[in-house]
Amino acid sequence: MNCKRKIFMIFILFCLVFTNFNFASEPTIASTAVILMEPTTGKILYEKNAYDKMYPASTTKILTAILVLENCDLKEKAVVSKNAIFSIPNGYVNCNLHEGEELSVNDLMYALMVKSANDAAVVLAEHIGGSVENFADMMNKKAKEMGCKNTHFVNPNGIHHEDHYSTAYDLAIMAMYGMQNETFRNYVSTKSYTLPATNKHPTADRICLTTNDMLRPNSRYYDENVIGIKTGYTTEARNCLIAGARKNDVELISVTLHAGTNAEGLSERYLDTKALFDYGFDNFQFSDIVQEKDIVQTIEIKNGTKDTKNLDLITKDTLFAYLKKELDLDGLAPSITLHENLEAPIQTGDSLGSITYTIDGIEYSTELLAKSNVEKKLNIEIVVLIGGILLLMFGVMILKISTKKKVKKKKFRK
């Protein structure tokens, strides 16, 4: 091998090594707005225009599903109204429901979350709210309760309306809320469901197939780690996807909005979602910032006794976070705040202050507790006072004794 070839090979190896250690390189995203979050801590791992108002299309239905689960029994029967059928514009997905048809809420939920049936959404909204308008009010109230900042819905299905909008961040909040419910998780991960025969449809031939290609094993976008959640599409919203994934006991939530297709004709909502999950799983990990009962500081309690005045402060809780793998936790400088006028006596376990670690703009805090008792030493002024009193009493006693002796002597002389 000649010299030039050796230099070239060394250069290639250097590049490969450098690339392998460049863990935190961010993904290339084509969608207009996206977010990636870790749900147990709420940490945002990546975002792009996540707070911009966008049309959510059928991702709206996750909030509809949440309200259904919180407001009625799945065994209840709901009746399909004329409005539920004829309010759906041409081109929007439906489940071939019939006016006057009776279905269980459970069956309608599968139609809603698996096939994304817009008629099923209206049936559920009318069943719970009495009307679409009332149900929309319930949706907006619930969104605010969950902490959504820029969401306003006018219908339960995401059919386009200028005043029907949300953000990638708000939709992630809704998804994280919904995924705390096992029944919700079941609906959003189901690949196929067949509606049973009913009073208006005598055959069980209405098959609901998932609209999420990341759940379909025969799809080029299939990802074994993906566990749901909801797709969406309108001309104005373009392609949308809220997705959940689980790998090595870690779950992540992603939202992609206003996605198109790339030069090869591939769906950007799936490509971006895959890139986001790869980034989140490959570059982050759960880490203990500090553990329960760790000693973080030793302070001197001024009025404590000599043997107890040096007090160790320990943490009340373990603080953990989903952090970048290369982050040096030993280099973190916490902020410690102690209560004013700390003095003995102090009992083991007393709360004396707090400790806060700030990482990527997020604060992680816990209380600081006393590891041991601090006994109060006697105040020197009190000691002097007590001593003075004792001396005075002693002097008085001596004086009385002396006086008695003198009196006895006088009596004796007489």
Those residues with Cβ within 8 angstroms of residue 258's Cβ, 6 or more apart along the chain or in another chain: 31, 32, 33, 54, 55, 237, 238, 239, 240
Helix (H) or strand (E) segment spanning residue 234: strand 226-234
For the chain, what is the largest distance between any 2 Cα atoms, rounded to a whole number of angstroms? 137
A 10 A CB-CB count for 154 gives 18
The 3-class SS string of 74-118 reads CCCEEECCHHHHHCCCCCCCCCCCCCCCEEEHHHHHHHHHHHCCH
What is the full DSSP assignment across 4-28? HHHHHHHHHHHHHHHHHT-TTPPPP
The 3-class SS string of 192-228 reads EEEECCCCCCCCCCEEEECCCHHHCCCCCCCCCCEEE
Alpha-helix residue ranges (DSSP H) falling in 205-350: 268-283
Q: Helices 168-178 and 132-146 meet at what angle, rounded to 10?
A: 90
Q: How far is CA 49 from CA 35, 52, 204, 255, 268, in A?
A: 8, 5, 44, 11, 16
* Contact between residue 220 and residue 236 where contact means Cβ atoms under 8 Å apart: no
Measure the CA–CA gap between 394 and 1, rounded to whole angstroms: 106
Measure the CA–CA gap between 83 and 99, rounded to whole angstroms: 9
Find out whether the peptide bond into 39 is cis, omega within 30 degrees of 0. no
Please give the structure tokens belonging to residue 405. 């002796």
Provide the annotated active-site residues: 58, 61, 116
Measure the CA–CA gap between 172 and 168, rounded to whole angstroms: 6
Helix (H, G, I), strand (E, B) or coil at 310: strand
Measure the CA–CA gap between 26 and 236, rounded to whole angstroms: 28
Measure the CA–CA gap between 205 and 215, rounded to whole angstroms: 22
